[in-house]
Chains A and B, each alone.
Chain A
Amino acid sequence: MTAPQADPRREKRREIRTYAIGYALALALTGGAFAAVHWPRFPARTTLGLVFGLALVQMIVHLRCFLHVSLRRSSRDDLLLILFSTLIIILMVAGTIVIIANLHGRMM
C-alpha cells in the first residue's frame, strides 16, 4: 500500500503544497458562490444551478486535496468506498422521495 520510499522532506513540501492549493480553491469556490448570489448576473434559476455546480466541484476539491482520494492505485479502495456510499445514499434518498410522493399522490 505504501508508495515507493520518497525523501520525507520533499514529501512533506508536496503535501503542504496540496493543502495550500486545496485551501485556495476552496476559498475561491465558496467566494464564487457567495458572489453569484450577492451580485446577481443571471436569473435566479441559473444562479441556483451555478451554486449547486460550485458545491459539487467543492466536494471534489475536498476529496482530492484534503482527503487524498485520487485515481491513483493506492487510494482506489477509498474511491470505491466513496462511490459505493454515494450509490447507497442516492438509493435511499431517491427511494424515500418516490415512495412518499407516491403515497401522497394517492391520498389526494
Chain B
Amino acid sequence: MTDGIWPALLGRFTWNALAFVRAWQNPTVNEIIGAGAAMMVVLGAASVITLITVTGKWGYLWREWLTSLDHKKIGVMYVVLAFVMLARALAEAVLMRMQQAAAVNAPGFVEPDHFAQLFSTHGSIMIFFMAMPFLTGIINYVTPLQIGARDVAFPLLNSISLWLTGGAAGLMMVSLVIGRFSTGGWTGYPPYTELAFSPDVGPDYWISAVTLGSIASTLSGLNFAVTIYKLRCPGMTLMRMPLFCWTTLCTSILMIFAMPPLTVATALLALDRYLGFHFFTNDLGGNMMNYANLFWLFGHPEVYILILPAFGAYSEVVSTFSSKELYGYTSLVLATMAIAVLSFTVWVHHFFAMGQSANLNAVFGIATMTIGVPTGVKIYDWIWTMFRGEVRFTVPMLYSLAFMMTFVLGGFTGILLAFPPLDYLVHNTLFLVAHFHNMLIPGLLYGMLAATHYWFPKAFGFRLNEKWGRIAFGCWVFGFYLAFMPLYVLGAGGAARRSQAFFEPAFRPWLYVAGVGALILLAALTALFVQLWVSIRERDANRVFAGDPWDGRGLEWSTSAPPPEYNYAVIPVVDGRDPFYDGKRDGDGYAVPAGYEDIAVPRNSMVGPATGILGAGLAFGLVWYIWWLAVLCLAGIVATVIARSFIRDVERIVPAADVARIEDRWHHAIAAARPISRHHETTPANQGLAEVTA
C-alpha cells in the first residue's frame, strides 16, 4: 500500500470510518447501537433492492415513477421519502428519550458524542428531510388539481427538486454507515462547526445535505409560485382560490426569500472549512454572529414554511367535514399574508441571549407577539366554520381538532418566550424544546397527516382504514402530551437541552413519563404503517373511483380517483369559491363535454435522477476529500444540463380517442355508483359519489 494511492483514491476514508468496524474493534453498547443503525440502513436498502429485482419491477419503477414528471407521482414520491425519514428520526428521538431517562446520575448507554449526533440528525432530518418533503409532496399533489391545471409550471424542475432532496436524504443515510454525523445540532453554529473544533467529516455531511436540500426547496418555491400565478384555470381569480392554494403561495414566497440565506450561510461555512476563509472563525476577523443572523433569517420564516401548508389543509378539512363554506375566507387570506410578512421581522428572538441591546430585543419581542394575532384570527375562523355545521369526526377532522387545542397551548408558551427577560431564563432548556415540538407536531405533522388521510382516496382510489387511523391518531395525541408536557416542567426547572446526562434526581419521574410518551409516539407511527397495510389489503371494498368520497368542494374532487395523468380532459371554468360543491348543487358537477382534444403531457426524463445522484456523489466526494469523484460528478451535472437542452421533443400526446376512453369509463362509473349520504361516507357503501342535499 503505497502512501500516495489510497488518499488520492479514497480521500480521508479509512476502515475505521465504517460503523461496523468500529463496533468490531470496540464492542461497547454505544458502538453496537451505531452499528445496529448502520445495519438497518444496509439491510433496508438491500431488501428493497432485492424485492424490486425479484418481482422484476425495475423497469416499471423507472418508467412509471422515478423518471416521471407528473406532479402527482412526484408528490407521492416526496411523501414516501418523508415517511422513511420520519421513521428514522422518530427512532432517534426515542433513543434520546431512553438515554436521558437512564442517565440521571448514571452514564446511560449512549456516549456524549453519539448523543450529540443523535440530536443533530434528528433535528436536521425532521426539518429538512421529513417536514419539507412532506409538505412539498402534498403541495405538489394538490395545488395543480385545485387550480384546474394539468401540471406545475416547470415539471422537469420539479423532478430535479425531488431528486436533489432525495440525494441529500440519501447522504444522511450514508452518514450512518460511513463516517459520522455532525455534533453541532440542527443549527450547526460555528465556531464549533469550524475545522478548529470539529475537524471530522460530520459538519461536512451536514453542510452538504442541508445545502442540497435548501437549493431544492428554493427551486420548488419558484415552481409553485409561478404555477399559481400563471396556470390558474379561467375564472379562478386569486380570491377564488381554495385556501390551501393561498397557503401554498405564501409558503412558496417564503421559500424563495428564506432559503437563500441558509444556502449562503452553509456555503460560507463551507468556504471556511474547505478553503481557509474566515467568515465565522474566532480569529482573523471572523464573526459568528453573522452566521446566527443569516441562519435565523432563514430559520424563522422556515417555521412558517412548515406550518402554513398545514393551516391550508386544516381549512379544507374543517370546511369539508362541516359541510360549510369556510368562515371568514378573506380574513384567512389576509391572516396568511400577514403571517408571511411578519415572519421576516422576528428572527432575533432565536438569539435574544446572544448580546444585542435590550432595546433591540424589545423591538423583536413585540414583533414576535404580534404574530399571535393573525394566528388567533385563523383559529376563530375554523371554530366558526364548524359552528352549526354538519360536523363529522373523521380522522382528518380529529387531527384538526387536536391541532387547534394543542397548537394554541404551544402558542401561549411562544408568547412567554417572546419576552426577552423570560427567554434569558429558559433559553437552551427543555422548555424551548417542549415549545417548538408543541408547535411543530400539531402545526406540521398532524396537518400533513390530516392532509394525507383527506387526499389519499383521491390519489390512490380507495379510502384508508378508519379504525387504524383512529388508533394512530389517539397515539399521536396521547403520546405527544406525555412526551412533551413534562419537558416544560423540566425546562422551567433548569434542565438544559442537548444534555446526554442529568445530575438532578428530581428530574427522574418527568423523564420517565416523557420516555413512555416517546414509546407511544413510536406506536403511533407503527399504527400508521399497519393502517396502510390493512387499507391496501382491503382496497377493493373501499374504492371511490367516482372521485368524491367526502362531498368535496374544490376542483380536485371533480376528477376520477386516481385522476388521469392529464388531470382534466377539458380545462374547467369556475365562477365561485367552491366550484365543485356548487356545481353539484346546480346539476352540472359532472357535465360530459361535447368532445375531447389531444392533450400534451410532459415526457419522462432522466435528468432528475441524474442530477440527484450526481449531486449526492459530488457532496460525498467533498465530504471525504475524494476530489476526483467531486470533479467527475460536477462535470456530469453540467453535461446533463447541456445534453438536456438539446432534447427538443419533450412532450407526449395523449390522443383524443384515449382521452375519450378514459373519461367514458369514469362517467359510466359515476352513472353506476350509488350516491351516499354523509352518514355513510366512512363505510364501504362510499363509492365516491356524494348525495346532493341542498
A100 near B290 with CB under 8 A, answer yes
**Closest CB-CB distance, B589 to chain A, in whole Å?**
27
Q: Does B399 contact A (CB under 8 A)?
A: no
Among B229, B257, B289, B294, contact of A77 (Cβ-Cβ < 8 Å): B229
Q: Mark B280-320, 1 if CB is under 8 A from A, else 0.
A: 00000001011001100100000000000000000000000
A84 to B360, CA, bound (A): 24
| B357 engages A96 (CB within 8 Å) | no
Contacts known (A96-B297, A100-B293, A103-B289); A88 close to B348, Cβ less than 8 A: no
Which of B253, B257, B294, B357 meets A106, CB within 8 Å? B357
**Per-position contact with A for B406-432: 1 when CB-CB < 8 Å, else 0?**
000000000000000000000000000
Report the contact-size class of chain B (Cβ under 8 Å from the partner): 10 to 19
Q: Known interface pairs A95-B347, A96-B293. Does A102 touch B360 (Cβ–Cβ under 8 Å)? A: yes
Cβ-based interface call for A24 (8 A)? no
Say whether B289 contacts A100, CB under 8 Å. yes
Give the distance to chain A from B363, nearest Cβ to Cβ, in Å.
Answer: 9
A87-108 contact mask (Cβ, 8 Å, vs B): 1 or 0:
1110110011011101101100
Bound Cα distance A74, B261 (Å):
32
Q: Which of A34-67 contact B (CB under 8 A)?
A: none
Q: Which of A91, A95, A98, A105 has the most CB of B within 10 A?
A: A95
B341-A103 in contact (CB<8A):
no
Q: Which of A85, A99, A100, A105 is the one whose CB lies under 8 Å from B257?
A: A85
**B355: interface (CB < 8 Å):** yes
Residues on B with beta carbons closer than 8 Å to the beta carbon of A88? 257, 341, 344
Residue of B nearest to A96 (CB): B293
- The residue that B348 contacts in the complex, of A77, A89, A99, with Cβ under 8 A, is A99
Contact status A98-B289, CB under 8 Å = no
Q: Which residues of B contact A87 (CB under 8 A)?
A: 341
Cα of A89 to Cα of B356 in the assembled complex, Å: 22
Using Cβ atoms and an 8 Å threshold, which residues of chain A touch B289?
99-100, 103
Which residues of chain B have C-beta atoms less than 8 A from A95's C-beta?
Answer: 297, 345, 347-348
User: Shortest CB–CB separation between residue B263 and chain A, in angstroms?
Assistant: 14
Residues of B within 8 A of A91 (CB): 344-345
Chain A residues with CB under 8 A of B344: 88, 91-92
B293 touches A84 (CB 8 A): no
Least CB distance, A3 to chain B, in whole angstroms: 16
Q: Which of chain A's residues have a CB closer than 8 A to the CB of B348?
A: 95, 99
CB neighbours of A77 from chain B (8 A): 229
Given A77-B229, A88-B257, A92-B261 in contact, is the A102-B341 Cβ separation under 8 Å?
Answer: no
Interface string of B327-366 (1 = CB under 8 A from A): 0000000000000010011011000000111001000000
Residues in B345-397 with C-beta less than 8 Å from chain A: 345, 347-348, 355-357, 360
A89: chain B residues at CB < 8 Å are 257
Report which of A92, A96, A106 forms a contact with B356, defined as CB distance below 8 A: A106
Contact with A along B246-283 (1 / 0, CB 8 A): 00000001000100010000000000000000000000
**Cα of A96 to Cα of B355 in the assembled complex, Å:** 14
* A96 and B347 alpha carbons, distance in the complex (Å): 10
Which one of B257, B261, B356 lies within 8 Å of A103 (CB-CB)? B356
- In the complex the two chains form, what is the Cα distance from A92 to B199 in whole Å? 32
A96 and B294 alpha carbons, distance in the complex (Å):
8
Task: Out of A81, A85, A92, A99, name the residue touching B360 (CB < 8 Å).
Answer: A99
Measured in the bound complex, the distance between the Cα atoms of B297 and A99 in whole Å is: 12
Shortest C-beta distance, B522 to chain A (Å), equals: 40
* Docked-complex contact A102 and B257, CB < 8 angstroms: no
| Whole-angstrom CA separation of A91 from B340 in the bound complex | 13
> Whose C-beta in chain A lies nearest to the C-beta of B359?
A102
CA distance A88 to B345 in the complex (A): 9
Set of chain B residues within 8 Å of A102, measured between Cβ atoms: 356-357, 360
Q: Which residues of A have CB within 8 Å of B360?
A: 98-99, 102
> How far, in whole Å, are A100 and B297 apart by their CA atoms in the complex?
13
Where the two chains meet, the residues of A that have a C-beta atom closer than 8 Å to any C-beta of B are: 77, 81, 84-85, 87-89, 91-92, 95-96, 98-100, 102-103, 105-106
Q: Which 7 residue pairs of A and B lie closest in terms of their CB atoms, listed nearest first? A: A91-B344, A88-B257, A102-B356, A102-B360, A103-B289, A88-B344, A102-B357
Q: Give me 14 other A-B pairs in contact (C-beta within 8 A), A96-B293, A99-B356 excluded.
A: A84-B253, A88-B257, A88-B341, A88-B344, A91-B344, A92-B257, A95-B345, A95-B348, A96-B294, A99-B293, A99-B348, A100-B287, A102-B360, A105-B357
Which residues does B use to contact A, with CB under 8 Å?
229, 253, 257, 261, 287, 289-290, 293-294, 297, 341, 344-345, 347-348, 355-357, 360
21 A-B interface contacts by CB (under 8 A): A85-B257, A87-B341, A88-B257, A88-B341, A91-B345, A92-B257, A92-B344, A95-B347, A96-B294, A96-B297, A98-B360, A99-B348, A99-B356, A99-B360, A100-B287, A100-B289, A100-B290, A102-B356, A106-B355, A106-B356, A106-B357
